[in-house]
Amino acid sequence: MKYLALILSNLKRHKLRTVLTMLSILVAFLLFGYLAAIRTAFTAGIDVADLDRLIVRHKVSLIQLLPASYEARMEQVEGVDEAVGQTWFGGYYQEQRNQFAQMPVKPGEFMDMYPEYVLADDEKEAWLNTRTGAIAGSQIAERFGWKVGDKVPITATIWTMNDGSQTWDFDLVGIYESGEKGTDTTQFFFHYDYFDESRPDWGKGLVGWYTVRIDDPERSAEISAAIDAEFANSQAETKAEPEGAFLQGFANQIGDIGFIMTSIVAMVFFTILLVAGNTMAYAVRERTNELAVLKALGFTDTGVMGLVLGESFLLTAIGGGIGLALSWLMVSAGDPTNGFLVVFFIPGRDMIMGVVLIGVTALVAGILPALQAQRLHIADALRR
């Protein structure tokens, strides 16, 4: 560490160049962190999928409805603890562009199924007891400025009421928070009973899909097969799969765009680093003379190499560190699409990856100049 002062004074030699190089590294790492969040958003929820949960949907497609009576039959299947139905309501709030996810559920079973949706006890109690009661995620409540106790009218696009009216009125009795990182807090849940009574006859007794809790994640394939077998050759055959596989499949539907975005940007990340690396190499080359003087003063070959590498590490660590920190701040400030990317955060794994990448970058950028410095012959260099 006693050489830190020497390294620092080297960096200060061309302050402007040092700062500019640092800034380009900063931008590269800022981008790295930000893209990690975007990629996470496009593969929303896969990391937080519960191994104990299966998703059961209609075999032909997710939009085909399943009988509500399947719930009881599924709960008879060996290995199944609990099944909860959900249905895509597809309404909007006030304006057509304010679309978000609303689902009718059976509140008690639902809260047991999803412990990651955290609701205060009194709010939970109120929800269970209010037929027109609904709960909203904290993010969506904030977006529309909803408070507990508000009346929230939702305009239906699919499910008009049986009296022909298009607007459903709900009482917001609770706002749920996220219990773990990556939980979607942009959803809105209300009573299945209210939904089923008020919807037109053609839809009564049908639900969109089921979430099923199983007692042993090891047996998820076996239990999925047993559920599908239960409904084989019926009018509504099912497809059961682990929640993670279901979410992965859904992410693959968007797939291409997320993949293309991240891969091309990875390319540019390296271009920016190339520029920074080149500048560092230049800075060392320019100083050949001084390095030779250091050696003449008694610095060992390894010592001089260490000095150069140290400079590269310090520069990259400061630039990259600030870049990662800034990306974290930017991501915390919210997603750039105003609520479309429902989960938006940088996973810890990617932060660690970023730190590793700082080390790798410093090494790659510094190793050639460092080796040059190590091999320098005093006499030759001083004569230049």
Partner 1 sequence: MAGPFNWISQVASVSIFNVRTLPKRLGSSVTAVLGIAGVVAVMVAVLSIAQGIVRAMESSSAPENVIVLRGGATAEMMSGLGGDDVRFIAEAPGIARNEDGAIASAELFVIIDVKKQSTGTDANVPLRGVTRAAPVVHQDFEIVKGRMFEWGLNEVVVGVGANREFRGLSVGDSIEVAREQWPVVGLFEAAGGVSEAEIWVDAAVLQTAYRRGNSYQSVFAKLESPDDFQAFKDALTADPRLNVRPMREEDYYAEQSELLYNIVTGLGTLIAVIMGIGAVFGALNTMYTAVAARAREIATLRALGFHAGPVVISVLLESLLLALAGGVIGAGLAWLAFDGFTAATLNFASFSQITFAFYVSASLLVQGIVFAMVIGFFGGLFPAVRAARLPIADALREQ
Residues that bind partner 1 (CB under 8 A): 16-17, 20-21, 23-24, 27-28, 30-31, 34-35, 38, 59-64, 90, 96, 155-158, 160, 166, 233, 237, 239, 248-249, 252-257, 260-261, 264-265, 267-268, 271-272, 274-276, 278-279, 282, 336-337, 340
C-beta closer to partner 1: residue 61 or 76? 61
C-beta closer to partner 1: residue 129 or 289? 289
Among residues 72, 63, 89, 62, which one has the least CA distance to residue 198? 89
Extract the tokens encoding 294. 């250091």
Residue 111 and residue 247 in contact, taking contact as beta carbons nearer than 8 Å: no
CA distance 87 to 95: 22
DSSP state of 259: H
CB 129, min distance to partner 1, A: 31
Which letter, b or e, does each residue of 254-268 get, where b requires 16 or more Cβ atoms within 10 Å of its Cβ?
eeeebeeeeeebeee
C-beta closer to partner 1: residue 24 or 128? 24
CB 350, min distance to partner 1, A: 16
CB 200, min distance to partner 1, A: 10
CB 216, min distance to partner 1, A: 25
C-beta closer to partner 1: residue 4 or 264? 264
Extract the tokens encoding 321. 């560190």
C-beta closer to partner 1: residue 166 or 302? 166
Beta strands 167-178 and 133-137, pairing class: parallel
C-beta closer to partner 1: residue 18 or 130? 18
CB 249, min distance to partner 1, A: 4
Among residues 214, 44, 30, 193, which one has the least CA distance to residue 113? 214
Per the rule left: phi > 0, alpha: psi between -120 and 50, beta: everything else, 58 is beta
C-beta closer to partner 1: residue 6 or 161? 161
Extract the tokens encoding 172. 């917001």
C-beta closer to partner 1: residue 272 or 364? 272
Cα radius of gyration rounded to whole Å, the chain: 29
Distances (CA, A) of 166 to 61, 65, 169, 295: 26, 21, 10, 84
CB 274, min distance to partner 1, A: 6
CB 120, min distance to partner 1, A: 32
Residue written as tokens 């006890």?
A: 121
| Number of neighbours of residue 143 by Cβ within 10 angstroms | 17
CA distance 190 to 198: 13
CB 279, min distance to partner 1, A: 5
